[in-house]
Amino acid sequence: MSELLKCVEIEPAGDATATVIWLHGLGASGNDFEPIVPELQLPAGLDVRFVFPHAPQIPVTVNGGMVMPAWYDILAMDIDRKVDEAGVLASADAVDALIEREIQRGILAERIVIAGFSQGGAVAYQAALRYPQQLAGLLTLSTYMAMPVTPSTANASLPVLVCHGSQDPMVPEVLGRRAVDTLTSLGYQPEYLTYPMEHMVCLEQIRDIGQWLSKVLSD
C-alpha cells in the first residue's frame, strides 16, 4: 500500500488542532461513520479533523472470494483463530502513513486518536499500540485483537476505550473482553463499556465516545 488510502475528511469550524483516524468495518466505507460526527457533541473550540479512510477492495475468503472493501482477508468464521496477519500489518502500515500525513499537516502525534469498528478495530489495535510516537488515544468498537502486538515504549500507557454490544452475533462480546484482558496484561488500563445492542453503534455509545474524545484531546 504505497499510496495513501482514499479518505472522507470532515474539517472542524476552526483550524484543526487534533485528528481522529477512524476505520470502518468489513464491506463498509469511509462514509459509514461520517454521520456520527455531529452526534458526538464535541465542545466548541475543540477543533478535531475526522479522517475516515476507505479500505482497499480485496477478495474475502469467507464470502466465496467476493471482492469487497476489507482491511484484511477473513480466512475462516472462527475469527479469533485463523488470521491474515500479513493483511492486518499491511493495513496498519497504511494507517501509519495517514498519521504521518497528519503530522505533516501540523497535527502533533500526541493529538491523534486511532479508532476502528469491527475489522477496522483489529487494525487500530496494531496501528496505535505499536506506533513509535505518543498518540492521544485508541478507540475500538465491536472488535477483537486479531494477533499479538508489541507496544511501543511511547504508547505504553496510551488511553484506550473499548466498546462492545452485549448481544453481538458477529463478534461475540467475549472477544471484546479478551482484548481488554490482553491490554491489562500489557500494563494498560482500558475503559470498557457495553451496550444492549448487536453489531452496531447506538446513540448512548456515541455520546460516551464524544465525552471520552473530549477528555483525551483536552489541552
Helix axes 85-104, 119-130, angle to 10 degrees: 60
pLDDT confidence of residue 78: 73
Helix (H) or strand (E) run with residue 192 in it: strand 191-195
198: its cell numbers: 448487536
Q: Is the pLDDT of residue 219 over 70?
A: no
The CA distances from residue 139 to 65, 67, 112, 118, in Å, are 30, 27, 11, 11
* Domain annotation covers residue 123: yes
The Cα 15–Cα 205 span in angstroms is 27
pLDDT-derived band at 1 (thresholds 50, 70, 90) equals very low
Averaged confidence pLDDT in the chain: 95
* Domain annotation covers residue 2: no
Domain count, the chain: 1
Tell me, yes or no, if 168 is annotated catalytic.
yes
Q: Is the pLDDT of residue 36 over 60?
A: yes
* Triad 194, 199, 201: Cα angle to 5°: 65
Annotated catalytic residue within 24, 91, 118, 164:
118
* Domain annotation covers residue 133: yes
Q: Is the pLDDT of residue 123 over 80?
A: yes
Q: What is the mean pLDDT of residues 21-32?
A: 97
* Domain annotation covers residue 1: no
What is the domain range of residue 27?
A: 7-216
Task: Render pLDDT for 70-85 as a digit per residue (tens, 0 to 9).
Answer: 999 998 877 666 889 9
Map grid coordinates 446513540 to a residue: 203
The Cα 98–Cα 84 span in angstroms is 22
pTM of the complete model: 0.97
pLDDT confidence of residue 80: 61
Q: Is the pLDDT of residue 118 over 80?
A: yes
Other CB atoms closer than 10 Å to residue 205's CB: what's the count?
20
Annotated catalytic residue within 47, 152, 199, 208:
199
Tell me, yes or no, if 199 is annotated catalytic.
yes
Annotated catalytic residue within 32, 73, 84, 168:
168
CATH number at residue 62: 3.40.50.1820
